[in-house]
Amino acid sequence: MLPPSRRDFVSLTLSESGSYTNSKQWRRQSCWRKWKQLSRLQRSLILFTLMLLLVCGIATSPTLIGHWRGEIRGPPVLQNRLQTKTNVSGLLGVENQGLDLKNENKGSEGGKPIIRFDQMFPVFLFLLAESRLEAVREAFRHAWKGYKNFAWGHDELKPISNSYGEWFGLGLTLIDALDTMWILGLKEEFAEAREWVARELSFNKNVDVNLFESTIRILGGLLSTYHLTGDSMFLEKAKDIGSRLMPAFNTASKIPYSDVNIGKGTAHPPQWTSDSTVAEVTSIQLEFRELSRLTGDPKYKLAVMEVMKQVHKLDGKQDGLVPMFINTHNGLFTHQGIYTLGARADSYYEYLLKQWIQGGKTENELLDDYLLAVEGVKKNLLKKSTPSDLTFVGELSHGHFSPKMDHLVCFLPGTLALGAHYGLPTDHMELAKQLMETCYQMYAQMETGLSPEIAHFNMHEGSTQDVDVKIADRHNLLRPETVESLFYMYRFTEDKKYQQWGWEILQNFNKYTRVPTGGYTSINNVRDPANPNPRDKMESFFLGETLKYFYLLFSNDPNLISLDKYIFNTEAHPLPIWPQAE
């Protein structure tokens, strides 16, 4: 599908038709013109290959190898990278090939110099990382091109029809993408988007917005961009949307309604119910707590912490696992008996841990609820698949176990790893590693190499494949959760296999979801590489989250949004961890 997109990556033709003049000068000009016509990624890949050849050439040159022996010299940044701990053999797949990677035999043997692989590979890894980072920047620019040309200032790009879709009418993709551009170093794109926010973005609109979605994408995006840039314009916008969302909390129970009219200052539940979703009302806390800290006005924090207090005390949990709905009139759980780590419950668990970290690890109720829930997952939802023994997280429905796992659940390995980094039990990290493998297999076992929205795991003896996908679940929405977890796993383990898995996934996004005229699209069928069937929608989280996490995954710099200084909200917007004193 979308074959022309490959042109952006591979079509490099330097041969000329015979009808032109043959002079050397013309050929030089022609080559130069061709070179200028290439995309940055193409140029980087060519340069990368040439450098690699050069490095290999030096490595195998007996005269040069002597000079090379001892230490590799280079700019400080390169020297730093060279010290990075690496698992080179895993990355290159050269185990058992007899290469002396550690090269215990330094110096020469019988007069012949020995190749210093331990010194050569770091150079290779540095170049590899740089080319992957550039590939993410290129993917972002391509997505941005579509948004800019066909959807500028609107919520979402429809890349197949070259048009746009509105949800809230607030430039959702542009706001979600602001801090990604900043982190990727895309200065021009960022400056243009900043101008739009400053001049065009107005929240004084008669429009209903979903409290959760606008909090995590808009409020979260503006707050994180304010922190990264120090530009107070973003803080002013954040205050504006934050205060306009507050009417949602005017309910009998203080459990907020799902929808707010930010122009009129009114709020209401969805038309068909007076319930709100548990994940939604418990995943707005990082943002509102931060808004209180920045403004000095406690009303935001008080409103969201009241929700946490009530949910903490509520009956109806099973071993720390929460139902999916909560009533805004009486504040009780409804539709009890179904427990999942997927849609409608997922980020409740994520925000328990993240609030505890944000607040300086002092709010014990949050930690207790998180630890209890992890035990609840282990006891009720964890099983192994057949034939590969993959550990997966299923669902419980009125006591009956279902081997169904949403792609959304793939946030969990990253969250477990984050908790272990902050001193929680080491078996959380072990579980994170197992679940990470499973989430990767949800991609690798599909014909397109892209995960479906929902997988069903086989548990019966004699199964030949671990993952089954129902026809209605075969879509892929460009979701971030697996890439997000790969990022955490790589940061904490430095195991290169996680970067390699992410690289495979990025290539498959490029192969099956990239649209030649600009943008990436959701697809309907991850099992049919011949016809993945595009959906004509690029979700804002593809730019806000997926591409950002790819970039952070491929970076070897742990200080690029340090996990000791920032906590990511559930839309991948980094917010500061509060100084201990507060």
Is the Cβ of residue 45 or residue 143 nearer to ligand DMJ in the bound state? Answer: 143
CA–CA gap between residue 163 and residue 537 (Å, rounded): 10
Is the Cβ of residue 347 or residue 521 nearer to ligand DMJ in the bound state? Answer: 347
Catalogue the long-range contacts made by 231-235 (C-beta closer than 8 Å, 24 or more residues apart): 231/194, 233/194, 233/197, 233/198, 234/178, 234/197, 235/294
Active-site residue among 138, 155, 156, 213? 213
Active-site residue among 346, 350, 466, 545? 346
Question: 112-113 and 156-158: which strand pairing?
Answer: unpaired
Is residue 479 close enough to count as binding ligand DMJ by CB under 6 A?
yes
Is the Cβ of residue 189 or residue 571 nearer to ligand DMJ in the bound state? Answer: 571
Q: What is the identity of the amino acid at 61?
A: S
Residue 213: CB minimum distance to ligand DMJ, A: 7
Is the Cβ of residue 91 or residue 260 nearer to ligand DMJ in the bound state? Answer: 260
481 catalytic, yes or no? yes
The residue of the chain with the least Cβ separation from ligand DMJ equals: 570
Residue 432: CB minimum distance to ligand DMJ, A: 18
Torsion, CA 528, CA 529, CA 530, CA 531, rounded to 10: 60
Helix (H, G, I), strand (E, B) or coil at 11: coil
- Per-residue interface string for the shown chain with ligand DMJ, residues 405-444, x marking contact by CB under 6 A: ---x------------------------------------
- Per-residue interface string for the shown chain with ligand DMJ, residues 492-531, x marking contact by CB under 6 A: ----------------------------------------
Is the Cβ of residue 138 or residue 346 nearer to ligand DMJ in the bound state? Answer: 346
Is the Cβ of residue 480 or residue 534 nearer to ligand DMJ in the bound state? Answer: 480
Exposed/middle/buried for residue 22 (C-beta within 10 Å: 0-12, 13-18, 19+): exposed
582 catalytic, yes or no? no
Is the Cβ of residue 251 or residue 570 nearer to ligand DMJ in the bound state? Answer: 570
How many chain residues interact with ligand DMJ (CB under 6 A)? 8
Bond into 403 cis (ω within 30): no
Q: Which of 176, 201, 196, 167 is nearest to 537 (CA)?
A: 167
CB 322 within 8 A of CB 388: no
Site for ligand DMJ in 146-165 (CB under 6 A): none
Residue 18: CB minimum distance to ligand DMJ, A: 54
φ/ψ region of 277 (left if φ > 0, alpha if ψ in -120 to 50, else beta) reads: beta
Q: What is the identity of the amino acid at 223?
A: L
CA–CA gap between residue 221 and residue 218 (Å, rounded): 5
Q: Which of 393, 520, 525, 533 is nearest to 446 (CA)?
A: 525
- Per-residue interface string for the shown chain with ligand DMJ, residues 551-570, x marking contact by CB under 6 A: -------------------x
Binder among 269, 331, 394, 480 for ligand DMJ (CB under 6 A): 480
Is residue 548 close enough to count as binding ligand DMJ by CB under 6 A?
no
Is the Cβ of residue 380 or residue 522 nearer to ligand DMJ in the bound state? Answer: 522
b/e burial code for range 240-271 (CB count within 10 A of at least 16 → b) = bbbbbbbbbbebebbbbbbbbbbeeeebbbee
Residue 102: CB minimum distance to ligand DMJ, A: 41
Active-site residue among 395, 453, 484, 539? 453
Is the Cβ of residue 127 or residue 478 nearer to ligand DMJ in the bound state? Answer: 478
Task: Please state the φ and ψ torsions of residue 570, each to the nearest 5 degrees.
Answer: -75, 0
Binder among 571, 574, 575, 577 for ligand DMJ (CB under 6 A): 571
Helix (H, G, I), strand (E, B) or coil at 520: strand
Residue 76: CB minimum distance to ligand DMJ, A: 37
CA–CA gap between residue 289 and residue 511 (Å, rounded): 41
Residue 408: CB minimum distance to ligand DMJ, A: 6
CB 261 within 8 A of CB 207: yes
- Per-residue interface string for the shown chain with ligand DMJ, residues 337-376, x marking contact by CB under 6 A: ----------x-----------------------------
Residue 544: CB minimum distance to ligand DMJ, A: 8
213 catalytic, yes or no? yes
Is residue 259 close enough to count as binding ligand DMJ by CB under 6 A?
no
Q: Is 225 annotated as a binding residue?
A: no
Residue 152: CB minimum distance to ligand DMJ, A: 22
| Bridge partner residues of 318 (DSSP) | 321
Binder among 356, 541, 551, 554 for ligand DMJ (CB under 6 A): 541
Active-site residue among 259, 481, 484, 539? 481
Residue 549: CB minimum distance to ligand DMJ, A: 10
Q: How many CA atoms lie within 13 A of 368 on its CB side?
A: 9
Going through 351-451 in order, the beta strands assigned E by DSSP cover 382-384, 391-393, 395-397, 400-402, 404-406
Task: Please state the φ and ψ torsions of residue 11, each to the nearest 5 degrees.
Answer: -85, 95
Helix (H, G, I), strand (E, B) or coil at 333: strand
The string of DSSP letters for 132-166 reads: HHHHHHHHHHHHHHHHHHH-TTSSEEETTTTEEE-
Place of tokens 């990470």: 436
Binding residues for Ca(2+): 570
The residues binding ligand DMJ (CB under 6 A) are 347, 408, 479-480, 541, 545, 570-571
Binding residues: 570
Which residues belong to the active site?
Answer: 213, 346, 453, 481
